[in-house]
Amino acid sequence: MSGKNSIMQNIVRFLKSRNGKILIGTFIFWLILYPLNKFNVMNNYWMHVVNVSLIFVILTVSLNLINGFTGQFSIGHMGFAAVGAYTAATLTTLVWKVPSHGIVAYTAFIGALLLGGIAAAFIGFLIGLPTLRLRGDYLAIVTLAFGEIIRVIINSIDFVGGPRGIPGIPRFSTFTVVVVVTVLSVIIMKNVIYSSIGRALLSIREDEVASELVGVDTTRYKVLGFTVGAFFAGIGGGLLAHLVQYINPLQFGFMATIYVLIMVYIGGVGSISGSIVAAIGLTFLSEGLRFGLDKLNSVTPFPVGPEWRMVIYSVLLVATMLYKTNGLMGDREFEVLIPEEEDENAKHSA
Amino acid sequence: MPNTALKVDHVTHYFGGLRAVHNFHMELPQGVIWGLIGPNGAGKTTIFNLITGVYTPTEGKIYFRHNKHGNEVTEDITRYKPHTIVSKGIARTFQNLRVFNNLTVLDNIRIAGHFRIQYGLYDSVVRNRKFKEEEIKLREEAMKLLEMFNLHSRAYTLAKGLPYGELRRLEIARALATHPLLLLLDEPAAGMNPKETEELMDMIRWIKKEFNLTIFLIEHHMKFVMGICERIKVMDFGETIAEGTPEEVSNNPKVIEAYLGRKK
Task: Please check whether residue A99 is in contact with residue A139, taking contact to mean a CB–CB distance below 8 angstroms.
Answer: no
Of the candidates A215, A224, A341, the beta carbon closest to that of B86 is on A215
In this prediction, residue A79 has a pLDDT band, given cuts at 50, 70 and 90, of: very high
Predicted pLDDT at B257 = 85
Lowest mean pLDDT among A201-205, A263-267, A328-332, B138-142: A328-332
Task: Please check whether residue A214 is in contact with residue B177, taking contact to mean a CB–CB distance below 8 angstroms.
Answer: yes
The CA distance from A270 to the nearest CA of chain B, in Å, is 11
Collect all residues of chain B within an 8 Å Cβ-Cβ radius of residue A210.
94, 98-100
In this structure, are strands B4-15 and B18-29 parallel, antiparallel, or unpaired?
antiparallel
**Nearest residue in A to B159, CA atom:** A206
Contact A196 B124 (CB under 8 A): yes
What is the CA angle A310-A311-A314, rounded to 5?
Answer: 85
Q: Distance of CA A172 to CAs A182, A297, A301, Å?
A: 14, 37, 45
Does the ipTM exceed 0.90? yes
Predicted pLDDT at A3 = 64
In this prediction, residue A60 has a pLDDT band, given cuts at 50, 70 and 90, of: very high
Contact B111 A213 (CB under 8 A): no
Q: Count how many pairs of residues, chain A against chain B, have C-beta atoms within 8 Å.
A: 98
- Pick among B125, B170, B174 to test the A interface (most A CBs inside 10 A): B125
Q: Distance of CA A286 to CAs A239, A278, A308, B139, Å?
A: 20, 11, 10, 44
Collect all residues of chain B within an 8 Å Cβ-Cβ radius of residue A188.
125
Residues 6+ apart with CB under 8 A from A300: none
- Is the pLDDT score of A350 beyond 60? no
Q: Establish if B94 touches chain A: CB-CB under 8 angstroms.
A: yes
Q: Establish if A229 touches chain B: CB-CB under 8 angstroms.
A: no
Collect all residues of chain B within an 8 Å Cβ-Cβ radius of residue A326.
none
- Pick among A196, A207, A224, A332 to test the B interface (most B CBs inside 10 A): A196
Collect all residues of chain A within an 8 Å Cβ-Cβ radius of residue B177.
214
The closest alpha carbon to A330, from A284, A258, A293, A278, belongs to A278
Residues 6+ apart with CB under 8 A from B68: B75
Helix (H) or strand (E) holding B215: strand B214-218
In this prediction, residue B3 has a pLDDT band, given cuts at 50, 70 and 90, of: confident
Mean per-residue pLDDT, B243-259: 88
Mean pLDDT rounded to a whole number for chain A: 91
Predicted pLDDT at A2 = 56
3-state secondary structure of B233: strand
Predicted pLDDT at A347 = 53
Largest CA distance in chain A: 76
d(CA B232, CA B215): 12
Of the candidates A188, A206, A212, the beta carbon closest to that of B103 is on A206
pLDDT: which is higher, A188 or A311: A188
Residues 6+ apart with CB under 8 A from B9: B25, B60, B61, B62, B63
